[in-house]
Structure 1
Amino acid sequence: EAGIERELGNHETPDGRPGIAVLLFATDRKTLEAQLQARIGQCVLTCPTTAVFAGLEGEGQIALGKNLRYFGDGYQTSKQVDDHRYWRIPVMDGEFLCEETTGYQTAIGGGNLLVFARSLSQVLLACEAAIDAMSMLPDIILPFPGGGVRSGSKVGSKYKTLSASTNHPYCPTLKGLPDNVLDKNVEAVMEIVIDGLSVEDLNLAMRRGIEAICDLGKAQGIEKITGGNYGGKLGR
């Protein structure tokens, strides 16, 4: 999972230009490194005028530009500045500058809120308020598009090849099923997923989100706020 942590002013970036801080989460170091390489190569290297710098000291180092440099087909050059090594890769608008490695650390993924409301428009309004409040905080991301998730998952499936499937006890169109948990007033449920660098970051984000939803209250159609706990079986 990945997302924008915050926007950076030109006084906060190594090259003095406006920037974006991104956090990326994975279940292990190998997967994290592979995802980082793929996403930088597909989404940032390809984008005109961009450069990539390490933004985290971390517990260890993983490759950033170290492998992407080979895209330069032998025309790439390296530059050492203090303790940092950068790779300059020639591209059609000039060059792509990328730091050789970046830090990584143990973090927390999969914090979540489930919001129950009397209508789809009301649950969307509540989630947007929560997302706006949480997005102001550093060191967390809301990794799904727009922050809200309609396709919440449960552990397991009728199909053996799937480890997760639609969370049918929370689907309003399936209220007739014996294991559906929705009250008669609830017509929509939305999930907000939060990843953070620490438990404290995650706790603060969830608190701000809950407070923003509670400010709307029952008058705005909010019926309940809870969270999903999957016993460590969904993700890790």
Structure 2
Amino acid sequence: MEINGVEIEDNFAEAFGIQVSRILITAATKKLALVAATEATGYGTSVIGCPAEAGIDGYVPPQDTPDGRPGYIIMICNMNKGKLDHELLERVGMCILTAATTAVFDWMDEPDEKLKTGQKLKFFGDGYEQTLDVEGRKIHSIPLMSGDFLVEAELGIKAGVAGGNFFILAENQPAGLLAADAAVDAIEAIPGAITPFPGGIVASGSKVGSNKYKFLGASTNEKMCVTLKDEVEGCEIPENVNGVYEIVIDGVNEEAVKAAMKAGIEAAVKISGIIQISAGNFGGNLGKYQIKLHELF
């Protein structure tokens, strides 16, 4: 299969189940909301080493938020519900409550269950906290030096999908970067999906385990390293490819991940110098979701 002259390899992305939260952060200005969203999603690229996978899902204009202020939706993900509960409490408490003028609302459609994040955070008010009703939402108002911090009492979570991905194989690194950046921009328009790596682009695609160091849970994917093309047996990079980037996607469900992959690939193949689109998988040993590239189109 080809799209815009770029080969779409007959391959699949192997994704796995994860617990997902989706919250809305509002603030007095769009800039302040983005600052809080950025802080709250930091150190959230991969559960290989990070305590959560996290990212900004999208912007919400004032007319569509519960308090009439600009906001950003973020997603925080972990495979363990207890650990996700902990991450929500820490990231909302340390990164959003501490940010100027912010408020937090649950933004998960049809959650499987709800965590009492706001109910726990209210105690920061040291007895001066109050409970409000905002458009039918139970909100805790916590007095701060700068004013009150508002947080919804419960935040919804549900079973989602992590690790959706595709590889961009390019003639050179600049072309690959342009295509990856275009792909991330396109995915930003897909609700319920995030690209958790820095800038949405993965420079360090990995494999499970290690060939040499048994203490590693993951190590570099040497068969896709452009500088090892002449050294590695079984290299999977075509001779005319000298730049490879991966886009990893987490979503509230498989449909959101598929839509994001499709949008990202369609944007990437419009860039001159892209040779092939592929995907990463582990032979079905990592996760139950096999998202086949050809079936996206």
Q: Cα gap change, 1:159/1:150 in structure 2, threshold over 3 Å: closer, same or farther?
A: same
Q: Which has the higher contact order (CA 8 A, sep 6+)?
A: 2
Q: CA deviation at 1:99?
A: 0.8
- Return the alpha-carbon distance in structure 2 between the equivalents of residues 202 and 130 of structure 1: 13
- Aligned partner of 2:294 in structure 1 is none
- Aligned partner of 2:251 in structure 1 is 196
Task: Provide the secondary structure at the position in 2 that maps to 1:114.
Answer: strand
Alignment gaps of 5+ in structure 2: 1-52, 290-297
Q: CA deviation at 1:79?
A: 2.8
Aligned ranges 1:29-68 → 2 under 5 Å? 29-56=81-108, 57-68=110-121
- Aligned partner of 2:59 in structure 1 is 7
Letter aligned with residue 214 of structure 1:
V
Aligned mate of 1:205, from 254, 257, 260? 260
Q: Cα gap change, 1:235/1:26 in structure 2, threshold over 3 Å: closer, same or farther?
A: farther
- Aligned partner of 2:242 in structure 1 is 187
Letter aligned with residue 23 of structure 1:
M
Find out whether 1:160 has 2:234 as its counterpart.
no
- Aligned partner of 1:174 in structure 2 is 228
**Identity across matched positions, percent:** 43
Q: CA deviation at 1:71?
A: 2.2
- Return the alpha-carbon distance in structure 1 between the equivalents of residues 135 and 199 of structure 2: 39
Q: CA deviation at 1:125?
A: 0.7
Moved more, 41-50 or 206-215: 206-215
- Return the alpha-carbon distance in structure 2 between the equivalents of residues 107 and 2 of structure 1: 13
Q: Are the equivalent residues in 1 in contact too, given 2:66–2:135 (CA < 8 A)?
A: no
Alignment gaps of 5+ in structure 1: none
Q: Cα gap change, 1:162/1:115 in structure 2, threshold over 3 Å: closer, same or farther?
A: same
- Aligned partner of 2:170 in structure 1 is 117
- Return the alpha-carbon distance in structure 2 between the equivalents of residues 140 and 34 of structure 1: 22
RMSD across aligned positions (CA): 2.0
Q: CA deviation at 1:235?
A: 11
Q: CA deviation at 1:48?
A: 0.5
- Aligned partner of 1:108 in structure 2 is 161
Aligned mate of 1:140, from 193, 196, 207? 193
Find out whether 1:91 has 2:91 as its counterpart.
no
Q: CA deviation at 1:73?
A: 3.0
- Return the alpha-carbon distance in structure 2 between the equivalents of residues 232 and 202 of structure 1: 19
Moved more, 37-46 or 114-123: 37-46
Letter aligned with residue 196 of structure 1:
G
Q: Are the equivalent residues in 2 in contact too, given 1:164–1:234 (CA < 8 A)?
A: no
Moved more, 70-79 or 9-18: 70-79
Aligned pairs, number: 233
- Return the alpha-carbon distance in structure 2 between the equivalents of residues 92 and 166 of structure 1: 47
- Aligned partner of 2:17 in structure 1 is none
- Return the alpha-carbon distance in structure 1 between the equivalents of residues 144 and 159 of structure 2: 34
Letter aligned with residue 76 of structure 2:
L
Q: Cα gap change, 1:82/1:14 in structure 2, threshold over 3 Å: closer, same or farther?
A: closer
Kindly provide the CA deviation profile for residues 171-218 of structure 1, in whole angstroms up to 9, marking residues without a partner as x.
Answer: 1122212243222222121000111122222112111222222223xx
Could you state the TM-score of these two structures normalised by the residue count of structure 1? 0.91
Q: Are the equivalent residues in 2 in contact too, given 1:88–1:97 (CA < 8 A)?
A: yes
Q: Cα gap change, 1:201/1:84 in structure 2, threshold over 3 Å: closer, same or farther?
A: same
Task: Provide the secondary structure at the position in 2 that maps to 1:186.
Answer: coil
Letter aligned with residue 125 of structure 2:
G
- Aligned partner of 2:48 in structure 1 is none
Q: CA deviation at 1:165?
A: 1.3
